[in-house]
Structure 1
Amino acid sequence: MPPSVPAPSRRIPVEPLTPAAFSPFGTVIENPVRTGSQQPGGGLETVRANQGTALKYLDVTHMTNFYHTAASRKPAKAVMNMFVCSPRKLRQSSGSGGHRVFDVSILERHPFTSQTFIPMGQAATDRSTQYLVIVAPTLPATAGGHGQKRPPPYPAPEPRRRRSIRDIFSRARPSPFDNQAAPPSPAATKGSGQPAPVPPPKGPGMPDLSSARAFIAHGNQAVTYGAGTWHAPMCVLGADDIDFVVVQFANGVGIEDCQEVELEAAGASEGLTVPVGEGDAPGIAMQAKL
């Protein structure tokens, strides 16, 4: 059973899903020209492909695998699954106005892998069915002390040994590939054609519920959660199911593949909720199931 943390009584305002707003948590994958999130020639690098009939955007998201740092040291493999997500049931709020809300009762994270959700068969202009992306920053490992009952997700780093004279002078040897004296830096410069720097995983702390955020996404948008990012299970709103292809790494060790925390509201508190009723979140489908 997952550990639980106290949830504050807080309504998370809904924001449009944009690459800039979501960048602390991962990546938004979309056609930047059609959505207006990027002007042609800016940001993502592009090349012409397929005899000039296609425009290829390079490195649109980061697929990361940090399982080599996991306690089990069990290697992971790339997996591709499909989730058929049904519309969530909403609760009629007891507060002022009686709006409908989605109760956030659980968060999860994948500490050693990114996770990409790609919706299928959903038109960009279809507002009858949409989905919520709910995320939270990670607290420092000691904050709150609520995670002590669960196994540590990240192993303690091994002590670094002092480098020998041989190690030091080995870096002076020319690279067999480009004749440089030292290996090239992993950090890529914009427009170099190399992959962008890989963002590190989030720390081992619990979710910062006071800073949780909610984004409304449409059928022409996919999302990648960065490794270790706390997020709610997929929340579909509206009339129909959404089929998601989900791409990530996994090694079959439960505590290393996925970790969950339950959010418990105190007393008569509503806990953590997302208002999706009329007047609270314009543009969200109003026919979400009750």
Structure 2
Amino acid sequence: METTLARMAGARMSLHPQPLNAAAFAPFGDVIETRPAGDPGAFPINGGMVTRHHDLATVELGGGRALINLFEARPYAYPMEIAMLERHPLGSQAFIPLSDRPFLVVVAPPGNTLEAGSVRAFITNGRQGVNYHAGVWHHMLLALDAPSCFAVVDRGGDGNNCEERWLAQPLRLELPDA
């Protein structure tokens, strides 16, 4: 299912999430997930007892330092209004689910303009994480169904690394049919 923005007769635009995959998400960052058997980036370590899934995301620190955090997210009521996005101009930000529950990812390309028509939505499979590239617009963490825990790798250090911007016209985020 493709992400679509559809203007309903006289109503606001709606945003429909598509399944998250590396190719579709590439303009916004990296998908963090295990690699299939045989992939050269997945190899045995520790006497063959562990498989290392190597170099899954590019952490951008912009002269800062890496922060490792845990976030506990409560689900919103859906459908919901997407009215504001944020970006981190000085570094990337990665969200890795620890609860094995799908979550939503709402993003827009980096840049000084933020247009409702450029906003995309993805739904993870519960085991995929995301790493937003520096400057990519994104919504706050969007848990589904139940509270969820995430490991978050972020940039710390000098400089303002969070900018928020309101959309000229809010979007209605609609969940895919179950």
- TM-score normalised to structure 1 length: 0.54
- Which residue among 29, 33, 48 is the counterpart of 1:26? 29
Matched, 1:110 2:114: no
Matched, 1:85 2:63: no
Higher Rg: 1
Matched, 1:233 2:140: yes
AA of the residue aligned to 2:38: G
Q: Post-superposition shift, 1:79?
A: 0.9
- Which residue among 99, 108, 118 is the counterpart of 1:136? 108
AA of the residue aligned to 1:282: D
Query: Partners in 2 of 1:49 and 1:41 — Cα distance?
Result: 15
Matched, 1:282 2:160: no
Equivalent residues in 2 for 1:129-278, closer than 5 Å: 129-138=101-110, 203=111, 205-238=112-145, 240-253=146-159, 256-265=160-169, 271-276=170-175
Offset from partner CA, 1:70-118 (integer Å, 9 cap, x none) = xxxxxx221112211101023xxxxxxxxxx221011000001110101
- TM-score normalised to structure 2 length: 0.85
Query: Partners in 1 of 2:42 and 2:142 — Cα distance?
Result: 32
Q: CA RMSD in A?
A: 1.9
Aligned to 2:44: 48
Name the one with the larger strand percent: 2
AA of the residue aligned to 1:27: D
Query: Partners in 2 of 1:207 and 1:264 — Cα distance?
Result: 9
Q: What secondary structure is seen at the aligned counterpart in 1 of 2:76?
A: coil
Offset from partner CA, 1:30-67 (integer Å, 9 cap, x none) = 1232xxxxxx434x523321112222222111111224
Query: Partners in 1 of 2:97 and 2:53 — Cα distance?
Result: 19
**Count of aligned pairs:** 168
Q: Post-superposition shift, 1:130?
A: 2.7
Kept after mapping to 2: 8 A contact 1:137/1:208: no
Higher relative contact order (CA 8 A, sep 6+): 1
Matched, 1:120 2:120: no
Q: Post-superposition shift, 1:264?
A: 4.2
Q: Which runs of 5+ in 2 are unaligned?
A: 1-10
Q: Post-superposition shift, 1:9?
A: 3.1
Kept after mapping to 1: 8 A contact 2:104/2:142: yes
Offset from partner CA, 1:215-260 (integer Å, 9 cap, x none) = 011321111001110000011121x10111111112254xx21000
| Aligned-residue identity in percent | 33
